[in-house]
């Protein structure tokens, strides 16, 4: 079986495409169930964030196309359009990609910490849906250990750098004095919580958090002395908002052009800085056409993000080195597991031949046959059965000039003789075999 990582991200697809491929929380259970039901898929996990949608699967050789076709069907997308912006990695490259994602090396904001939490959530969702087996489970656990090592041993996590931080940094270029700015934050997830914290640290004191459940909005706003409202109250709050930053999991826009036009009229066309971090988008793109609105999406934050990236590049180089060691370690453990399975199968085969020969010998003893004759027969029969299959494989390898296999034969099948084995015992062994050669045929 093959380890496969397939997806799209902010480098390969625009936000318009990413929002079509994103999985809402309510879709994830269905998606994991459908993936696991595909005959070619043994294990599956789904990571879906504002900047990426990725599927991690244990699959057969045809799995890549099967998963891509399924993704297109699930979201009702043209498969050719999806193929143009999708990427895939196999086996050790897939493991390396997952580790790079986990430590933020593949993020829009280099080293951003949120992705690790999102990855852990994706892992838990896959476990709850019984989508994980030994291969993916071990890979995720190994990845989390590597990510912890990177965070501990490098400076990649120092200084708050994230999409939330980038949004606040961009706002600071427009507002000279944050203490006079009024902010409306839509949503109450981890991203908005970070935005609220960054805004508060920057000097914003008038802060309103709107959310579907008001209790969650109060949790975010209370710690910063802000106000909590429900989503239906957004039109009134817009009239007083200089900064609007939105990040929800809504499948449809929350804030439309008409709503914003009415708010601007009440504000006497005072300018509004807006950032839509959500995928799918919370704010209709047409809002950006209004004269007094400065609307940005996650893709527009790239300039700020590039500045932050330079500060983290040295730590990123150290992280890459740790990841390479992590991939090597994972591959080593994977090979050992593969070898262990082969050893187990080989020993079971040998033990089955042993048991067969033993049972036949015991049956002859029960019939009263000569014990010495039975032992001689048992020794020949057992060795003959053990050597028959390897002997045939050597003949086939020689006939097909499989030199690699032939070179391995001495090491695998002809270990050095024990020190206690003498010429006398070897001759006796050959003599014991002789009487049986006339009445036994190779198995």
pLDDT in tens, 175-213: 888 998 999 999 999 889 989 998 998 899 999 999 999
- Write down the mean pLDDT value for the chain: 87
pLDDT single digits (tens) 106-140? 998 888 888 999 999 999 999 999 989 889 999 99
* Lowest mean per-residue pLDDT among 20-34, 120-134, 170-184, 415-429: 415-429
Number of neighbours of residue 221 by Cβ within 10 angstroms: 24
**pLDDT for the residue numbered 437:** 41
The CA-atom distances, in angstroms, between 27 and each of 1, 16, 47, 253, 334 are 27, 19, 12, 18, 32
Contact 217, 210 (CB under 8 A): yes
**Among 22-36, 101-115, 211-225, 337-351, which stretch is predicted with the lowest mean pLDDT?**
337-351
Give catalytic residues, as residue numbers: 50
pTM value is: 0.63
Helix axis angle, 134-153 relative to 114-128, nearest 10°? 160
Tokens 């009445």 identify what position?
439
Residues 358-410: pLDDT tens digits? 888 898 888 888 888 888 888 888 888 888 888 888 888 888 888 888 787 77
Domains and CATH numbers, the chain: 2-153 (3.30.460.30), 163-306 (3.40.50.720), 370-443 (no CATH)
Q: Two tokens at 346? A: 């080989």
pLDDT surpasses 50 at 429: no
Query: What pLDDT score was predicted for residue 428?
Result: 45
Q: Which range (79-83, 417-421, 429-433) has the least confidence?
A: 429-433
Q: Is 70 exceeded by the pLDDT of residue 434?
A: no
205: exposed, middle or buried (Cβ count in 10 Å: 0-12, 13-18, 19+): middle
Using the predicted structure, report yes or no on whether residue 411 has a pLDDT greater than 80: no
- 3-state SS of the chain is CEEEEEEEECCCCCHHHHHHHCCCHHHHHHHHHHHHHCCCEEEEEEEECCCEEEEEEEECCCHHHHHHHHHHHHHCCCHHHHHHHCEEEEHHHHHHHHHHHHCCCCCCCCCCCHHHHHHHHHHHHHHHCCCCCHHHHHHHHHHHHHHHHHHHHCCCCCCCCCHHHHHHHHHHCCCCCHHHCEEEEECCCHHHHHHHHHHHHHCCCEEEEEECCHHHHHHHHHCCCCEEEEHHHHHHHHCCCCEEEECCCCCCCCECHHHHHHHHHHCCCCCEEEEECCCCCCECHHHHHCCCEEEEEHHHHHHHHHHHHHHHHHHHHHHHHHHHHHHHHHHHHHHHHHHHHHHHHHHHHHHHHHHHHHHHHHHHHHCCCCHHHHHHHHHHHHHHHHHHHHHHHHHHHHHCCCHHHHHHHHHHHCCCCCCCCCHHHHHHHHHHHHHHCCCCCCC
């Amino acid at each position: 079986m093959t380890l496969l990582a397939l997806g799209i991200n902010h480098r390969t697809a625009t936000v318009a495409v990413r929002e079509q491929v994103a999985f809402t929380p309510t879709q994830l259970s269905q998606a994991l169930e459908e993936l696991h039901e595909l005959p070619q898929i043994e294990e599956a996990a789904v990571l879906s964030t504002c900047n990426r949608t990725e599927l991690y699967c244990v699959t057969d050789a045809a799995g890549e196309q099967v998963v891509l076709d399924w993704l297109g069907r699930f979201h009702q997308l043209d498969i050719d359009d999806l193929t143009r912006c999708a990427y895939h990695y196999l086996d050790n490259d897939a493991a390396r990609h997952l580790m790079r994602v986990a430590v933020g090396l593949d993020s829009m904001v280099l080293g951003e910490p949120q992705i690790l939490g999102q990855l852990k959530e994706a892992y838990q969702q896959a476990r709850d849906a019984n989508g994980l087996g030994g291969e993916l489970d071990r890979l995720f656990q190994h990845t989390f250990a590597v990510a912890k090592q990177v965070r501990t041993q490098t400076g990649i996590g120092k200084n708050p750098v994230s999409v939330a931080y980038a949004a606040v940094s961009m706002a600071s270029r427009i507002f000279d004095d944050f203490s006079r700015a009024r902010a409306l934050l839509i949503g109450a997830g981890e991203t908005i919580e970070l935005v609220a914290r960054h805004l508060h640290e920057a000097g914003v004191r008038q802060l309103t958090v709107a959310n579907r459940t008001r209790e969650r909005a109060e949790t975010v706003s209370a710690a910063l002395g802000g106000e909590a409202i429900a989503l239906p109250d957004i039109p009134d709050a817009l009239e007083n908002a200089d900064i609007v930053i939105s990040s929800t999991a809504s499948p449809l826009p929350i804030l439309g052009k008409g709503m914003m036009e009415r708010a601007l009229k009440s504000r006497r066309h005072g300018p509004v800085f807006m950032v839509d971090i959500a995928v799918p988008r919370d704010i209709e793109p047409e809002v950006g056409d209004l004269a007094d609105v400065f609307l940005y999406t996650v893709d527009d934050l790239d300039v700020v993000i590039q500045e932050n990236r330079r500060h983290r590049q040295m730590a990123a180089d150290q992280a890459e080195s740790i990841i390479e060691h992590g991939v090597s370690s994972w591959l080593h453990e994977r090979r050992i597991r593969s070898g262990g399975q082969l050893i187990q199968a080989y020993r079971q085969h040998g033990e089955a031949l042993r048991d067969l020969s033993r049972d036949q010998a015991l049956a002859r003893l029960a019939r009263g046959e000569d014990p010495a004759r039975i032992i001689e027969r048992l020794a020949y029969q057992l060795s003959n059965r053990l050597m028959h299959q390897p002997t045939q494989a050597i003949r086939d390898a020689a006939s097909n000039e499989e030199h690699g296999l032939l070179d391995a034969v001495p090491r695998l099948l002809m270990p050095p003789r024990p020190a206690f084995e003498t010429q006398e015992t070897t001759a006796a062994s050959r003599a014991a075999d002789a009487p049986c050669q006339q009445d036994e045929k190779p198995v």
